[in-house]
Every structure is written in C-alpha cells, then in structure tokens.
Structure 1
Amino acid sequence: MPTTRNRDVSLYYEADGDGPTVVFINDVGYGAWLWGWHYDAVAGPYETVVWDLRGTGRSDAPAGPYDVETLTADLEAVLADHGVGSAHLVGAGLGGMVALKYAHQYNRARSLTLYCTAGSGDAVDREKLDSLALDAPSSLEGAFSPAFRDHDPDLMEQIAGWRAEEDATGEARAAQAGAMTGFDSPPLYEITQPAEVYYGLNDPVVKSDAAQSLAADLPRGTGEAVEGRHCCYIEYAPAVTDRLLAFLDEQTD
C-alpha cells in the first residue's frame, strides 16, 4: 500500500474505486475504521482515499505538538503523491477542521462534507474529547447513544477491536487533540466550495450551535441535524451516506 512523506514524516494511505476522488479525513485518535460505513457505498462510483493522520495507524507518530496547518500539509502531500487533481473532502471533528483549512489554502478541494466539527477550537470541550480516547473509561459513551450501544453489543466489540489495532494513543492522540482545540479557522467567507455540515444533537464534544454557526458562516454551507452523539454519522450511517452520495452526485453533475 502506498506511503508518502511530508518532510521527515511517513504517511500511509489507501485508494480504491474509480471516478472523481473523495478523501476521508479522520477525527482525533480514530483510525481508518471510522469510514467503514461510508466506504463500500462510495468506492466504485467514486475513487476513495483514506489516510492515517500522523500519530495514527501506519503513519509515523512524531513528537508533538501538532496543529491543523501541519495536518493540512500532510493531506496535500498525500493528494500530490497520488496524483489527485481535485477532490471532495469528507472530514469528521479534527478532520473537518483540516478540510476547512485545506479548502482555503489549496486549490484541489471541490466540496466539503463536515461531521461534528466547528470553526474554532474554542467550541470543543477538551474534557469530553479526551473521554473518547481508547484508554479512557467508557470511551464509547460520548461517541454513541445508549440505544445504539445496547442494540448491537457485537458491533461494539468489533469497534473495540478495530480501535485497539488502529487508533492513536498516548502522546500522539494528545497532540491531535491539541491540534483540534487550538484550531482557528481561516476567514470562512473565503471558503466558497459547496459545504454540508452535519452535527449530532447530543454531541458532547462539539455543541450543535457551534456546528450550526459554522454552516451559517460558510457562503455555500448548509446544516443538517442528526440524532446521536459525536459519531452520529456512524449511528445513522445509512441515511447520512445516502445524503453524502446525493451531494457528491450533485457536485459531480
């Protein structure tokens, strides 16, 4: 599988499918498993690119601190290495902030789909964010509603296994969390790509009013409420994925 470098940091990514490129950008700590619910539906009509943020999975984990600007340069290294001329960006949490920065700084972004993110790190509850870490007690509580966790215990066990294999831990995860809470967006009125912002009504990490404000401040942004917590886009994956595909089709047409 391919790797590229941003200076002295090796970055791992995978690509699949044909058609216009869709790039998935992970949230704090989470590995590529995060996009398993979207991946099968999107790969095929679109080319998908999934990459491990520095500190995660098979990418290098240099000492922190990290910031969104550096992670954005990492993304540019991945897309340049893969020969991507333009891409639709799909980012969650920290990944949504990277997408915003990338869309402002580089010319490859065609559209933005943003999950549970905000235009400022000041809107992120660091204590609740840290409670999602792999080694935190009850780390799935802030991610998924009780009904979802209780409905499919086998799935929760699968997710725990994927996280143990792929997630960032320790200082690397803390550095990613610092990048998220330290984010200050570029002028949002200058980000003119079509954008859809989805937010969990019970997200403990990024409150819904912060995501609503982000959607309102993007010139071509729309906001969509989703029942659930910080990973509401997984909990309601069928509906969210259908909306994503419709949005991508609209932009491609």
Structure 2
Amino acid sequence: MPRATNGDVSLRYEVDEGSGGDDEAVVFCGDVGFGAWQFGWQHAALAGPYTVVTPETRGVGASDAPPGPYTVETLAADLDAVCTDAGVRNAHLVGYGLGGMVALAYALASSRPASLALVGTPPAGDAYNPDGVWADPADPAAVEGSLTGLLSADFREAHPDALAPIVEWRLAEDADPEAFAAQRAAIEGFDLVDRLHEVLPPALVVVGADDTVCPRTAAETLADGLPRGEQYVVAGARHLVGVEASAAVNDRLAGWLATHASDRP
C-alpha cells in the first residue's frame, strides 16, 4: 500500500481509481481514534464514480504514531502530504468529527480542497465530546458498550447484526490510549469560530439530530458561519450518522459531488 511522509512521519493510505480525472479525488478524513473502518459505508457508494483516497490518520492503523500532543494543523499537513503523494490536485474532503476539523483547517491553508463534506463536526473543540467516541480497543466490553451512544436505539434494535462487525473493526483498527490522547489534544486546541468566514470552498454540514458527541446546535453554528455552508440534519441519528443512515447520507453526498466535482459521472 502507498505511503506518504510528512517530515519523519510515515502515513499509510489507499487509492481506489475511479472513472473521473486522475487529479481529482474524494479524500476521507478520520474521526478521533477511529480506524479506516469508519469510511466503509460512504466508500462503497463513492468508489468507482470517483477516485477515492483513504488515509489512516497518524496514530491509527499502519500510519506512524509519534508522541503527542497533535494539532489540527499538523494533521492537515499530513493530509496535504497524502494528497501530494497521490497526485490529487482537487480534493473533495469528507471529514468525520476530528477529520472535519482537519478539513476546515486544510481549506484555510491550501487551495487544494475543492469542496468539504463535514460530518458531525463543530466549529470549535469545546463543542465536541471525545469521551463519547472513545473505547479502549483492548477492552471488548467497552468497545461494545460505546455503540450505545454512537448509534441510535432504533438502529441497534433494527440491525443487531451490524453491531458485531463494528466491534471487531474497532478492536482491530482503533487508536490505543496514547494515540487517542494525542489526537484528542488536537480537538482541544481547535477553534475556528472567528475564522469561518475565511473558509471559501462549498461545505455540506451533516449531523444526526440526536448526536451527543457533536450536538446539532454546534453543527448548525458551523453551517451558518461558513460562507457557502449547507446543512443536512438526519432525524433520529446519532454520531455515526453515516453508518445508521448510510443510504440517505450517501444520496446527499452523491448529489453534492455531482454539483461540485468537475469530473462527475
């Protein structure tokens, strides 16, 4: 698998070639502590029509895990290194939680982001509850229990067969406590409330109405503050809105990309 480097940090990523131009791609940006499993529901819908780049955040998977604390700006520089190595000139960023914060910071630092899809993302770290995401991957019971807060009761009751695979993926791929703490520090240092007007790419802000990690009010503040912000609220969904409402979210993303990607199918 390809690897990019930012200084002395090596970052693993995957590329799935699509039918569009070689220099334009959908690029995923991960939530705090989560492995690449989190992208599976949207990846399945977008790969093929679009080239899709899936990085593993520093501290997760096969990417390096240098000592923290990390900053959002450092993670945005990692993202730039991946895009450069993959030859992506125009990046349509799909960021989840912390990954949405990284996408926003990258949009301030570079002209490469062509559009942003920000899922469960606040305008500042003090509006985000990383404890609602965390589960030690060495503790299967804690990982299983964490899904109570991340997925609605309706989804868990209707799709009990979906829970065990998520638990297995989290046990195998999520950050250990040290790496999680390093990533969490990036959230705690993040605040773009006074700079949202400087984020120029079009931005779709997606949030579950019952998200307790990134409250709906925080996502609304983000969407309202972005010059080209558009909000999409999914009724009844919690933080893993892209999992439990994957069909609705994927349809909205597909329409969004059809509007904003020059190489749309």
**TM-score (normalizing by structure 1):** 0.95
- Output one character per residue of 1:12-41: Cα deviation in whole Å (capped at 9) or x when no partner: 000002223000111011111111111122
Conservation of the 8 A alpha-carbon contact between 2:133 and 2:150: no
SS of 2:54's equivalent? Answer: strand
- Output one character per residue of 1:73-98: Cα deviation in whole Å (capped at 9) or x when no partner: 00001011111111100000000000
Partner of 1:182: 189
Partner of 1:243: 252
Deviation at 1:139, TM superposition (A): 1.2
> Does 1:219 find its partner at 2:227?
yes
**TM-score (normalizing by structure 2):** 0.91
- Output one character per residue of 1:32-80: Cα deviation in whole Å (capped at 9) or x when no partner: 1111111122111100000100000110111110110100000001011
Deviation at 1:189, TM superposition (A): 0.6
Partner of 1:16: 16
Mapping for residues 1-253 of structure 1, pairs under 5 Å: 1-18=1-18, 19=20, 20-130=24-134, 132=135, 134=137, 135=139, 136=142, 138-185=145-192, 187-226=195-234, 227-253=236-262
Distance in 2 of aligned mates of 1:219 and 1:149: 37
Conservation of the 8 A alpha-carbon contact between 1:29 and 1:133: no
Deviation at 1:133, TM superposition (A): 5.0
SS of 2:149's equivalent? Answer: coil
Structure 1 letter corresponding to 2:212? P
Alignment gaps of 5+ in structure 1 = none
Distance in 2 of aligned mates of 1:8 and 1:196: 33
SS of 1:49's equivalent? Answer: strand
Distance in 1 of aligned mates of 2:191 and 2:130: 15
Distance in 2 of aligned mates of 1:234 and 1:126: 18
Deviation at 1:126, TM superposition (A): 4.2
Distance in 2 of aligned mates of 1:181 and 1:208: 19
Distance in 2 of aligned mates of 1:41 and 1:224: 18
**How has the CA–CA distance of structure 1 residues 133 and 230 changed in structure 2, closer, same or farther, with 3 Å as cutoff?**
farther
Deviation at 1:222, TM superposition (A): 1.0
SS of 1:234's equivalent? Answer: helix
Structure 1 letter corresponding to 2:219? A
Structure 2 letter corresponding to 1:124? Y
Structure 2 letter corresponding to 1:90? V
Distance in 2 of aligned mates of 1:157 and 1:133: 16
SS of 2:115's equivalent? Answer: strand
Deviation at 1:178, TM superposition (A): 1.9
Q: Percent identity of the aligned residues?
A: 49
Conservation of the 8 A alpha-carbon contact between 2:29 and 2:100: yes
Alignment gaps of 5+ in structure 2 = none
